[in-house]
Amino acid sequence: MKKVTTSSLLKMKQESTKITALTAYDASFAKLFDEQGIDVLLIGDSLGMVLKGDDDTLTVSLEDIAYHTRSVRKGVERAFVVADMPFMSYSTPEQTYLSAAQLMRAGASMVKVEGGSWLLDTIKGLNERSVPVCGHLGLTPQSVHVFGGFKVQGRDDLQAERILEQAKELEQAGIQLLVLECIPSDLAAKISQSLSIPVIGIGAGAQTDGQILVMHDMFGISANYMPKFSKNYLQQTNNMREAVSQYIQEVQDGSFPSDEHSFN
């Protein structure tokens, strides 16, 4: 099977083929997901919540992400590997370049940053230094204390217009992938249609170019709670490989996420 690249992800969008993605944190699960045909694996700072049991993602360090990126890379043959830039590891362009270099050397093929306009120059600088970038808008978990909790974003017209504007700015700055988290389905659809790059949703409805879930949520084993936008595939199949296969199938045929896993 051919390796997934930025070019093949772009082709999938152009051909209206849904992109499937999951978080992963070790070699064994990465191998399982890769063998089932998942397209993208994200070493997410969600590990702070699902592995460490914290209330948010802010305790995750760059070293944590690098360690888990090295582990995931060893289990992957085909999938595209993206690594999160954790809280305050990209507060200045210079810091960002050093942080990104550490994650790329650990085995990432792309780094992910949360935020909008303030990152534009940094994204351009990363591209100039041969680092592909994934953006992240909507509910950005590193901003949980600014938002006052894990709340759906973009429900009023002004905020929705701002998210759309930021998505366009990020694409112009050079991101090659965008994650939209916990925004209304109609806004996510509009953003996906407005951008030429692939848009991956989580709690953003079915009209994005693909979907991502936290693996612990998809298996129904998260320690704290099950988000509205997730679905327990292990409960339906009683087999991890079949659970992943069914998740992939439902994303590809458009049956996941349904209205019950989306926001209006």
Enzyme catalytic residues: 181
The answer to the question of whether 112 is labelled as a binding residue is yes
Which DSSP string corresponds to the chain?
-PPP-HHHHHHHHHTTPPEEEEE--SHHHHHHHHHHT-SEEEE-TTHHHHTS--SSSTT--HHHHHHHHHHHHTT-SSSEEEEE--TTSSSSHHHHHHHHHHHHHHT-SEEE---SGGGHHHHHHHHHTT--EEEEEES-GGGHHHHTSS-----SHHHHHHHHHHHHHHHHHT-SEEEEES--HHHHHHHHHH-SS-EEEESS-S-SSEEEE-HHHHTT--SS---TT---HHHHHSSHHHHHHHHHHHHHHT-SS-GGGS--
The answer to the question of whether 45 is labelled as a binding residue is yes
The answer to the question of whether 61 is labelled as a binding residue is no
Q: Verify cis geometry, omega within 30 degrees of 0, for the bond prior to 198.
A: no
CA 2 to chain centre: 22
The answer to the question of whether 84 is labelled as a binding residue is yes
Measured CA to CA in angstroms, residue 33 lies from 12, 38, 158 at distances of 19, 6, 39
Residue type, 71: S
The answer to the question of whether 171 is labelled as a binding residue is no
Query: CB neighbours (10 Å) of residue 125?
Result: 18
Q: What residues are designated binding site for Mg(2+)?
A: 45, 84, 114
Q: What residues are designated binding site?
A: 45-46, 84, 112, 114
Q: What residues are designated binding site for 3-methyl-2-oxobutanoate?
A: 45-46, 84, 112
